[in-house]
Chain A
Amino acid sequence: MPSEMVSQSDFLYILPELTLIVGGLITLLIAGFKGKKSVAMVANFAIALMTIAAIILFFLPQDVMRVFNGLVINDSYSIYMKILTLFGAAATLLMIKNFLESRKLDQPEFIVLVMFAVAGMMFMISANNLLTLYLGIEMQSLSLYILAAFNRSSTKATESGLKYFILGALSSGLLLYGMSFIYGFTGSASYDLIAEHLGNPDGSSSMGVIFGITLMSAGLMFKISAVPFHMWTPDVYEGAPTPVTAFFATAPKIAAMAMLVRILYSPFIDIAKDWQQIVVFVAIASMVLGGFAGIAQRNLKRLMAYSSIAHMGYALVGLSAISNVGGSIQSVILYMSIYLITTLGVFACILGMKRSGDSFEKISDLAGMWRNHPVIAVSLTIFMFSLTGMPPLAGFLAKWEVFSVAVNEGLWVMVVVGVLASVVSAYYYLRIVKVIYFDESKEKFDPMSIELKLVLGFATLFTIIFTIFPSSLRELAQHAAQSLN
């Protein structure tokens, strides 16, 4: 049994991940010597490293390449999703770096953990083996658990960290249990070999494989917080400090959805009929629960949690159209890109809700914002309309894409439920608009920092302009989707 050795050129393909990991280690050293003083410098360093990693990814060869004995895969899909994840993480860091001190998060280790989490996400996206997937997930999740509980003096944050940790450990257990079934019934943990075994006409799509994929999708659905594995999301979003919540809602969601798409469409495409019903059920449940449960919310962060549950449901609508692989992956990629940018914009607004240094997060705190801050109010209105799915904003096009692939597949029930759920969710999105424009105005908020304005401005512009020029991003998504075909 001669085992192949790792060649030097393999490292080229994980250079972006290595950049972040080595950068994280250097940051750890800086943290040891300089302590709390260095946190602003370290945050800028991390943003610079993420930019460098994205640039390296941009110049990597786009054709399908398997490295480290096939444990890691590099293709245009992984490159696109990784750049998107890095963009989300870097933009979040840019937004939150001025808020770390007031939230007692001003230790440079915070930034180190963010960097390791992003590296884990990138491994998740380019996993080509069940074990790579698992290790990537653990690297990301462990960092996120710690980030949630980072502010030890807050009972709410500690509680949310503990809740996230226990439920996350349970989901990892389910995931591993499912993986062991897959390994037992197909004989391999490698995506390629699993696909080969399942593609065999006499090779069994046996009960064991279905059992395995059911358990595995339970574990994976937990990571994207889809119903019925969503319980942790509202509590964690509300309990964690707002800068951490902003991070949770953006980059990890992209990475988790990316790995879900790859694992369903790459090794398990031949038993797509079997997992399709799981995805359809989860999509419908997420859309309905996200639509109805958001109505009762008074806290903006909690509302965004239910909103993200619903949006994961919409993304899964695109995923369940199995006969048109390219189109359905493209629609999911597009949906996640638009979701990411809109969410960044909304969190820029939530982070900006400060009066003389104190943060506010209730919906009622937005009252009469229109009179004091017309520009921010208009941006927030645009985001809310986009999240609802109003034409002509970006969110409409995103929903249009996923629903149209599902209609072509003939999944009428799901599409009708989805449209109705988005009408229900319009109630809570538009209530925010009503509060902004028609309620008695309160005191002014503190002026926004330049970084927040930057992200807010970009997100607003993107949300408006995207429908006019959708072709460039759509082509990128199509190109990325092709590599999984």
Chain B
Amino acid sequence: MVAVVFFYIFAIFLVISAVMVISARNPVYAVFFLILAFFNATGLFILLGAEFLAMLLLMVYVGAVMVLFLFVVMMIDIDLKEMSRGFLQYAPIGSLVGIIILAEIIMVVGGFTYDASLITTTAVPIPDVAEISNLEAFGLLLYGEYVFFIELAGIILLVALIGAIILTLKTTNKAHRQDISVQVARNTETAIEMVSVKSGQAFSKNDTIKMNKKG
């Protein structure tokens, strides 16, 4: 009973905050509503007994992705009037597509005949929490049966890394890099310049060059 009450609380807040994400005028508010939506989704996951997924959602999405998002939104000057200019123009056709997809989904879910045998025949049924903890079950699957996927995902991340560097890194000569071998190789002769400045005259850079050439 308590679980049902909490389910409806989380679900209603999730839907409301999701709607607010796309309807909020201030983009910073929209990001905060998205964070709220993630928190509510976390609650739903916990109700399902998937506490690891719940924590993952909090840490990865709220902890990392959304903070980054917030930074970007706050740093970029977004002109909302400019962005919503085409909104009315595309609204009819957009809502038509939306209504068609909604109707299709209702047809699918309406014709949903749940095959009772699916619970036992699913590839990986959710294990009993009393038997094995969520995290352990995940680990066994990911690093045992599905280790191949982990490796593939690793390569995909490497590709993303290479791409991010290739597309953004600029190698310019302007950067003042520290060259340790040059620094260590300095001695008194190369490091110190003796300049004799004539009295009554200012010191100019040309003098140094002349001095160096002489001695």
B141-177 interface code vs A (CB 8 A; 1 in, 0 out): 1001111110011011011101100110000000000
CB–CB A193/B123 < 8 A: yes
Most buried by A among B137, B147, B148: B148
Which residues on the A side are within 8 Å of B105 (C-beta)? 211
CB–CB A188/B122 < 8 A: yes
- Measured between C-beta atoms, what is the minimum distance from A130 to chain B in Å? 10
Given contacts A1-B127, A132-B149, A204-B115, contact A211 B162 (CB under 8 A): no
Complex partner residue of B162 from A21, A109, A132, A193, CB under 8 angstroms: A109
CB–CB B162/A139 < 8 A: no
CA distance A109 to B169 in the complex (A): 13
Which residues on the A side are within 8 Å of B156 (C-beta)? 135, 138-139, 142
CB–CB A116/B159 < 8 A: yes
CB–CB B108/A68 < 8 A: no
- Measured between C-beta atoms, what is the minimum distance from B3 to chain A in Å? 22
CB–CB B115/A142 < 8 A: no
- Measured between C-beta atoms, what is the minimum distance from B125 to chain A in Å? 8
Which residues on the B side are within 8 Å of A456 (C-beta)? none
Residue B204 is within 8 A (CB to CB) of chain A in the complex = no
CB–CB A150/B111 < 8 A: no
Given contacts A28-B162, A132-B152, A138-B156, contact A71 B127 (CB under 8 A): no
CB–CB A3/B111 < 8 A: no
- Measured between C-beta atoms, what is the minimum distance from A14 to chain B in Å? 9
A11-44 interface code vs B (CB 8 A; 1 in, 0 out): 0000000000100000010000000000000000
CA distance A142 to B163 in the complex (A): 8
Which residues on the A side are within 8 Å of B193 (C-beta)? none
Given contacts A145-B163, A204-B113, contact A135 B118 (CB under 8 A): no
Say what secondary structure dominates the interface of chain B.
helix
Say what secondary structure dominates the interface of chain A.
helix
Residue A4 is within 8 A (CB to CB) of chain B in the complex = yes
Residue A94 is within 8 A (CB to CB) of chain B in the complex = no
Given contacts A138-B156, A203-B115, contact A71 B149 (CB under 8 A): yes
CB–CB A109/B166 < 8 A: yes
Residue B188 is within 8 A (CB to CB) of chain A in the complex = no
CA distance A181 to B109 in the complex (A): 11
CB–CB B152/A135 < 8 A: yes
Residue B121 is within 8 A (CB to CB) of chain A in the complex = yes
Chain B interfacial residues counted at CB < 8 A: 35
- Measured between C-beta atoms, what is the minimum distance from B29 to chain A in Å? 25
Which residues on the A side are within 8 Å of B104 (C-beta)? 211
Residue B112 is within 8 A (CB to CB) of chain A in the complex = yes
CB–CB B155/A197 < 8 A: no
CA distance A181 to B101 in the complex (A): 14
Residue B180 is within 8 A (CB to CB) of chain A in the complex = no
CB–CB B167/A152 < 8 A: yes
Residue B107 is within 8 A (CB to CB) of chain A in the complex = yes
B53-81 interface code vs A (CB 8 A; 1 in, 0 out): 00000000000000000000000000000
Given contacts A68-B148, A71-B146, contact A116 B155 (CB under 8 A): yes
Which residue of the partner chain A has the closest CB to B148?
Answer: A68
Which residues on the B side are within 8 Å of A149 (C-beta)? 167
B91-113 interface code vs A (CB 8 A; 1 in, 0 out): 00000000000001101100111
Given contacts A187-B123, A188-B122, contact A206 B113 (CB under 8 A): yes
Given contacts A71-B148, A112-B162, contact A208 B121 (CB under 8 A): no
Residue A207 is within 8 A (CB to CB) of chain B in the complex = yes
Which residue of the partner chain B has the closest CB to A6?
Answer: B147
Residue A143 is within 8 A (CB to CB) of chain B in the complex = yes
Which residue of the partner chain B has the closest CB to A188?
Answer: B123
Which residues on the A side are within 8 Å of B152 (C-beta)? 123, 132, 135-136, 139
Which residue of the partner chain B has the closest CB to A161?
Answer: B167
CB–CB A5/B144 < 8 A: yes
CA distance A139 to B104 in the complex (A): 31
Which residues on the A side are within 8 Å of B144 (C-beta)? 3-5
Which residue of the partner chain A has the closest CB to B111?
Answer: A207
Which residue of the partner chain B has the closest CB to A165?
Answer: B163
- Measured between C-beta atoms, what is the minimum distance from B203 to chain A in Å? 41
A217-250 interface code vs B (CB 8 A; 1 in, 0 out): 0000000000000000000000000000000000
CB–CB B108/A207 < 8 A: yes
Residue A119 is within 8 A (CB to CB) of chain B in the complex = yes
Given contacts A109-B162, A203-B115, A204-B115, contact A135 B149 (CB under 8 A): yes
CB–CB A3/B162 < 8 A: no
CB–CB A142/B149 < 8 A: no
Q: B-contacting residues of A (Cβ < 8 Å)?
A: 1, 3-6, 21, 28, 68-69, 71-72, 107, 109, 112-113, 116, 119, 123, 131-132, 135-136, 138-139, 142-143, 145-146, 149-150, 152, 181, 183, 185, 187-190, 193, 197, 203-204, 206-208, 211
Q: A-contacting residues of B (Cβ < 8 Å)?
A: 104-105, 107-108, 111-113, 115, 118, 121-124, 127, 132, 137, 140-141, 144-149, 152-153, 155-156, 158-160, 162-163, 166-167
Other CB < 8 Å A-B pairs besides A116-B158, A188-B123, 11 of them?
A6-B148, A116-B159, A135-B152, A139-B152, A145-B163, A146-B166, A181-B108, A187-B121, A188-B122, A207-B108, A207-B112
Closest 3 CB pairs of A and B: A146-B163, A3-B144, A3-B145
24 contacts between A and B (CB under 8 A): A1-B127, A68-B148, A69-B146, A69-B148, A109-B162, A113-B159, A116-B155, A116-B159, A131-B149, A135-B149, A135-B152, A136-B152, A139-B155, A142-B163, A146-B163, A146-B166, A150-B166, A185-B115, A188-B122, A204-B115, A206-B111, A207-B111, A208-B112, A211-B108
